[in-house]
Chains A and B, each alone.
Chain A
Amino acid sequence: METAELELFHRSIRRATETCGDESLDAALDEIGWRDALAADRSTAVSVLFEAQGLAVADSSALDWLLAAALGEEEGQASVVLSPLRRPEAPARVSAGRCEVRGLGTKAVALNDAAVVVAETDGGSVACTVKVSALELRKVRGLDPWLGLVEVTGHLDAGATRPVDWAGAVSLGQLALGHELVGLARAMLELARRHALERVQFGRPISSFQAIRHRLAESLVALEAADGLLAAAWEDPSPVTAAMAKGLAGRSARTVARHAQQVLAGIGFTTEHPLHRYVRRTIVLDQLLGASSVLTAQLGQNVLERATLPPTFPL
């Protein structure tokens, strides 16, 4: 995108995520033409929207659109069944002509008639598109009820399947969630920063105490590290790089959540302050499509087994 076009896109997306409720954000994104932007300039479309969603703790069907497109759903009218939390494995197994589904879905699952289910087989990943009515959906309240996740289970006829690149789709999803986690982290840091400047104790704003300042500085370092790695990962969004970027983004956002909660202290522990919404979402999104703890340990395991490091970014 050209600079002027990019600025407009950025502004429109930010306004939509800040002002629309989660119910009307999809329509607003269609009006902005987010899906056209996704086709034209994937990294910009994804990074701008998902960071904005994090900043506003807002939610849309964009993750499903992104994954469905990556799995070859042309129209983008289907949602995608996600892995259970922690590990980014395919949510279904195929055996003896039957497809066992055990995964999660976003709110979008209930909005669409069809869902893409990906299964791991000996011959690689395969997908089938099924009617949502054939799946069992159970609404999850959990830590972040506003996110509206659903548990998805099913025992289906395997039927017609097609080979798909699940790892490639997961990589895109991980980058998207990484940007969302960075957005959440930025928002939490800003909430804590503003509180530190306003809250007066011992006759001075608590922002003047080094213990507070260093927590906030540490938070900025953590989120900028994640942001930089995400930006570089788009140059070659391989599964290794994307998992690394999401792993760091999850860990960084949790670090920021911890510092922000400590700086906000009592008020940040109440539901009268918005922080809790961000903390909840951070903990859930950190585990979606691969938890930072799992992705980080897997990266280390691979490095140790191969006794070599992943490819790095050339100058």
Chain B
Amino acid sequence: MELGAFKAAVDAWLDEQGPALACDYEGVGTLDEQMIQLRKVMKMAYDAGFMRMGWPERVGGLGGSNLLRAYLGEALTARDLVEPGIYSMPEVLAPTMIDFAPEALATEMVPKLLSGEEIWCQGFSEPGTGSNLGSLACRAERTDAGWRINGQKVWTSLAQYAQRCVLLTRTGTPESAHRGITALFVDMESPGITVRPIETMHGAKEFCEVFYDDVVVPLDRVLGEVDGGWSIAMDLLPYERSTALWHRAAYLQRRLEQLVSAAPAGTLDPRAVGEATQLLWAFRARSRATQRRLAAGETLGSETSIDKVLVATAEQAIFDLVGEGLGPEVAVRDDPESERWRAEFLYSRAATIYGGSAEIQRNIIARRLLELGDDR
């Protein structure tokens, strides 16, 4: 389907199904409520065919370019039907499966993800492995029964809801660094997995610690090559900085628009509003170009670090304004709308931390794009 026709079809469907798709809670909602809403919207969009657009047919998709996915997420986010962070997780997880899973596994599993039937998570970070992903220690040993996993992950989003996990494990020696990492596709119901949600500053228990004690994973659940997990992580990170960020921009635009209507006169500095608007528009221009390059079959790489720095900068600029124009809402009001502004204001503080910190993005830009050589 062409983008123009797809947009018209999505818009018409959203108009028609508006009441059925709408959230049935006020304000930010609990994470449980957000997850119910997410799965409802994904299932309805999947059944209507829209959620299958832009994905290959061999995993239950209906084909077409990534621009279709970008538009669907934008439209759902602009209408405040989904929270873009949790909605966009398949944008990273599905390509992992499509590019690296054994074909039958991808065919079996990806439709469950896209339809909202299952939630998946991504086990990358560890207590001792934040920015330095190559140092991860969660161990997977090959036994006759399968891969035996022991270790701990942290910052695993939505692990308490997840049926599956794309897990990075250490299969080489502890010194093997990026050469000895293997990606496994793990059932979260496997014995030996303990999930402990972490309460964050913004009030949602979105991130979890996950403990793996003698967890056994079938040998055929390897994604890519044994000891080849690093290249999977590297291939996937640009996905995290493309379509998902386009969705995020739709959310930021909606919130900025709501802010300028809600903030009392005189509370916002016009120049700061102008700067935030310019930044968001510049991000949209760049992210759209990234979407188009992806649609043209280009491989995305380090240049998407610029997209990531820009969106995080725009997000914090916008929510800095929220802190000014809606200062009392953020600080002392407890009605559902104020609680939502407060939660989102706080969450924006993490925009330069998650998904590769602002410093790591600048390191990538310096090394890969500016070719500044080693930093030691």
Chain A residues close to B by CB (< 8 Å) = 193, 196-197, 205, 207-210, 213-214, 216-218, 220-221, 224-226, 228-229, 231-233, 244, 247-248, 251, 293, 295-301, 303-304, 307-310, 312-313, 315
Contacts and interface: CB of A to CB of B under 8 A. Distances in A.
A296 B277 CA distance: 9
B275 A296 contact: yes
B19 interface: no
B279 interface: yes
A300 B270 contact: yes
Given A299-B277, A309-B256, A315-B291, A228 B285 contact: yes
A210 B363 contact: yes
A196 B288 contact: no
A225 B308 CA distance: 12
A301 B268 CA distance: 10
B273 A244 contact: no
Interface in B32-74: 67, 70-71, 74
B366 A300 contact: no
Contacts of A228: 282, 285-286, 289
A309 B257 contact: yes
Given A296-B271, A315-B70, A225 B373 contact: no
Contacts of B270: 297-301, 303-304
27 contacts: A193-B372, A196-B372, A208-B372, A208-B375, A210-B363, A213-B370, A214-B362, A217-B309, A217-B361, A220-B306, A221-B310, A224-B286, A225-B282, A225-B310, A228-B285, A228-B289, A229-B278, A296-B271, A296-B275, A297-B270, A300-B273, A300-B275, A303-B274, A307-B261, A310-B281, A312-B253, A313-B281
Interface in B246-268: 246, 253, 256-257, 260-261, 265, 268
B260 A315 contact: no
Nearest to B257: A309
Contacts of A313: 281, 284-285, 288
Contacts of A224: 286, 306
- B contact face: mostly helix, strand, loop, or mixed: helix
B3 interface: yes
Nearest to B364: A217
Question: Could you say which of A213, A228, A315 has the most chain B C-beta atoms within 10 Å of its C-beta?
Answer: A315
B67 A303 contact: no
Nearest to B285: A232
Contacts of A216: 366, 370, 372
A133 B57 CA distance: 72
A182 B126 CA distance: 41
Contact of A210 (B67, B310, B375): B375
A300 B274 contact: yes
B366 A244 contact: no
A295 B277 CA distance: 12
Contacts of B281: 229, 232, 244, 310, 312-313
Given A297-B274, A315-B67, A231 B366 contact: no
Given A312-B281, A313-B288, A217 B362 contact: yes
Interface string B1-38: 00100010000000000000000000000000000000
Contact of B283 (A210, A225, A295): A225
B289 A231 contact: yes
B337 interface: no
A293 B268 CA distance: 16
B99 interface: no
Interface in B104-149: none
